[in-house]
Structure 1
Amino acid sequence: MTDSKTAPALDLAPGSSNTERRAAFWRFVDDYSLILIFIALFAVLSCTVEYFFSWDNVVGLALSVSQIGMVACTMMFCLASRDFDLSVGSTVAFAGVLCAIVSNATGSVTLGIAAALMAGAAIGFVNGAVIAKLKINALITTLATMEIVRGLAFISSQGQAVGVANEAFFSIGSSILFGLPAPVWVTLACFVLFGVLLNKTIYGRNTLAIGGNPDAARLAGVSVDRTRILIFLVQGAVAALAGIILASRMTSGQPNAGEGFELNVISACVLGGVSLMGGRASISGVLVGVLIMGTVQNAMSLMNIDAFYQYLVRGTILLIAVLVDQLKNRRQSR
């Protein structure tokens, strides 16, 4: 799959200036440093942490980041358009609860899934419409919907986990296909789909154009408001899908699920090179960012590192990623 950035060529002509060589070097670093860091990290942990390189652990690692990976694919579009969505964690919880409730009430898992997906899309549509049409800041809008949707999850479930009577629901998160759990395949499909949308479609080009300069994009004929609403609508639907799969894995819809989920997703995207200033995104970078976050978390768990220190490490990784993003923006603005 191609990426939204063109790979640099280090084969410069013999007479190239030092400035050109330095520019080529930095382009190479921007494009490949994250992949090299992940490979080095994975190799070191494989040699130093017991059981890390076992097949069961690698599969478990992939499964543990599957929901984050799904939503990171759509959060990438939000960030690339200069927005973000803090309500995805609440949407994950509400979708799982609603799917369980509707499935029990109708006896149909299919209707439960459909209801949850439509609810997620509706939440995303409201976010996008308020941000695009009413011009309310994305931070305030999604912070408000985060609280509202979380409240709906607790009210509809009466604060309790909602079990599902139909055992077919459990197969969504537990079935195995070609040696890998179904959620991992769904996540891979999301990366392929949204990678194509980013790099090969008008939707992706418009998203990057809006993030780069929304006024210039509007003058160029891009329907900025419609595109932003669509981005949030898709974000909500995919967050609901992640919530359905998570509820299936947990065998119940839980109103407190997904707490802190949005920060993990945003961290993975920023670590993967998606600019907080908009206009720059890479699906391969997001994939590597998700894997780095999951690998660090997995290794710390295997090493029995206290959960308090795990928060410290994740926060430090996010801070470093933001600092690197700022350095890239400053260098590109020169």
Structure 2
Amino acid sequence: MTALNKTAEVMVSDKKNSTTWTAIRNSENFNIIVVYVVLFIALSLFVPYFFSLRNMVGLGLSISQIGMVACTMMFCLASKDFDLSVGSQVAFYGVLAALIVNATDSFLLGIIGALVAGVFIGLMNGIFVTKVRVNALIATLAMMEIVRGGAYIISGGNAVGVVNMNFFMLGQSTILGVPTPIVITILCFALFGFLLKNTSYGRNALAVGGNSDAAKLAGVDVDNVRIANFAIQGIICAIAGVILASRITSGQPNASLGFELSVISACVLGGVSLNGGKASVIGVAVGVLIMGTVENALNLLNVDSFYQYLVRGGILLLAVGADQYRQRLAEKG
């Protein structure tokens, strides 16, 4: 009987392990995780200095702002919207914070000013898209130009240097040996992952993108959800802008050019559907890592920046193509 019991226990254990592995393989993020693991191993073996502590820290810092903003872009895309103004917003908030710090000698007021501006600009995006009924492409494209122009106007077209040493702490300090921007990025992924999966806000965002009419019938205030997405997007862009300015010790009106395409590419690569209704924070995190890792490897290999544009454009096409392929499979299924 003892031998039979042991055999039964082994069979049950094997069945559980098999079920767990099957669930992992069938998870929506399995393929992209495998792709990144293979990519990381290959680059570690064949690209000099890639797998070094200094480069890993540099990689984390290089993707920190993209990662923060990708968390909120995920909600916009999940609700079938998108925001092309995020790069200009990041630059504007960095310049604004630097100017306020210089004028008041207060790092805290600089952060507050950037956050207030972030809420205002985010609300404007949301209101134009939902209440004025301007297409999100046009509304956020216009805001991209307006905010970038604002950054150049208030800075006089020049970098705004800061002399207050406290301003540099946010971007250049560490927490338990980990650079603060990386810690903040990790916290953003944890927070927005929780909001997406465990709150009515996250469920409503997915419902709005999946079928806005059905969401309305279910009692969801569709416009408020979309406005909230843009407002929160503005807040996170403000945080990213202040951190970026803190890292480079100045507010740069020409910073983050092409930033919005990198953010959207990372989200779509991570499985967020351009048709709305589908998003995964783990997938977005891996998408951000893939984008940053490829760019980091190209820099280590001294690949000309002109060719890097081709690579980033190719990744965007690949991500969109993969999204369309997933949509067709879902329709057939």
State if a TM-score over 0.5 links the two structures.
yes
Displacement of 1:27 in angstroms is 7.6
Aligned residue for 2:157, secondary structure, equals: coil
* 2:317 is the counterpart of 1:314: no
Partner in structure 2 of residue 145 of structure 1: 143
Aligned 1:92-107 pairs, distance under 5 A? 92-107=90-105
Deviation per residue, 1:172-211 (Å, 9 max, x gap) = 1000222211000000000000000000000000000000
Deviation per residue, 1:138-164 (Å, 9 max, x gap) = 000000010011111111111111111
Partner in structure 2 of residue 19 of structure 1: none
Counterpart of 2:248, as a letter, is: M
Contact 1:69-1:287 within 8 A present in 2 as well: yes
Counterpart of 1:139, as a letter, is: L
* 2:204 is the counterpart of 1:221: no
Deviation per residue, 1:211-258 (Å, 9 max, x gap) = 000011011100001111000000011011100000001101111111
Counterpart of 2:97, as a letter, is: C
Aligned 1:196-215 pairs, distance under 5 A? 196-215=194-213
* 2:235 is the counterpart of 1:237: yes
C-alpha distance in 1 between matches for 2:119 and 2:92: 12
Contact 2:24-2:30 within 8 A present in 1 as well: no
Partner in structure 1 of residue 11 of structure 2: none
Contact 1:10-1:28 within 8 A present in 2 as well: no
> In structure 1, which of residues 269, 276, 279 is the aligned counterpart of residue 267 of structure 2?
269
Percent of aligned positions with the same letter in both sequences?
61
Aligned 1:21-32 pairs, distance under 5 A? 28=26, 30-32=28-30
Aligned 1:1-334 pairs, distance under 5 A? 28=26, 30-334=28-332
Aligned residue for 2:256, secondary structure, equals: coil
C-alpha distance in 1 between matches for 2:50 and 2:24: 33
C-alpha distance in 1 between matches for 2:102 and 2:92: 15
Relative distance call for 1:207 and 1:29 in structure 2 (3 A) is: closer
Aligned residue for 1:143, secondary structure, equals: helix
Contact 2:92-2:151 within 8 A present in 1 as well: yes
Counterpart of 1:280, as a letter, is: K
Contact 1:97-1:252 within 8 A present in 2 as well: yes
Answer with 1 or 2: which has the greater Rg.
Answer: 2
C-alpha distance in 2 between matches for 1:10 and 1:136: 52
C-alpha distance in 1 between matches for 2:99 and 2:27: 49
Relative distance call for 1:10 and 1:332 in structure 2 (3 A) is: farther
Counterpart of 1:145, as a letter, is: M
Deviation per residue, 1:82-127 (Å, 9 max, x gap) = 0000011111011001101111111111001100011011100000
C-alpha distance in 2 between matches for 1:10 and 1:174: 44
C-alpha distance in 2 between matches for 1:221 and 1:29: 30
C-alpha distance in 2 between matches for 1:10 and 1:213: 37
C-alpha distance in 1 between matches for 2:309 and 2:326: 26
Counterpart of 1:309, as a letter, is: Y
* Of 300-309 and 69-78, the range deviating more from structure 2: 300-309
C-alpha distance in 2 between matches for 1:67 and 1:303: 23
- Number of residue equivalences: 315
Displacement of 1:31 in angstroms is 3.1
C-alpha distance in 2 between matches for 1:26 and 1:55: 30
Contact 2:126-2:227 within 8 A present in 1 as well: yes
Displacement of 1:134 in angstroms is 1.3
Alignment RMSD: 1.6
C-alpha distance in 2 between matches for 1:229 and 1:27: 36
Displacement of 1:30 in angstroms is 3.9
Moved over 4 A (4+): 9-12, 24-27
Displacement of 1:318 in angstroms is 1.0
C-alpha distance in 1 between matches for 2:311 and 2:104: 45
Displacement of 1:131 in angstroms is 0.6
C-alpha distance in 1 between matches for 2:27 and 2:216: 33
C-alpha distance in 2 between matches for 1:10 and 1:145: 52
Counterpart of 1:253, as a letter, is: G
Aligned residue for 1:134, secondary structure, equals: coil
Aligned residue for 1:189, secondary structure, equals: helix
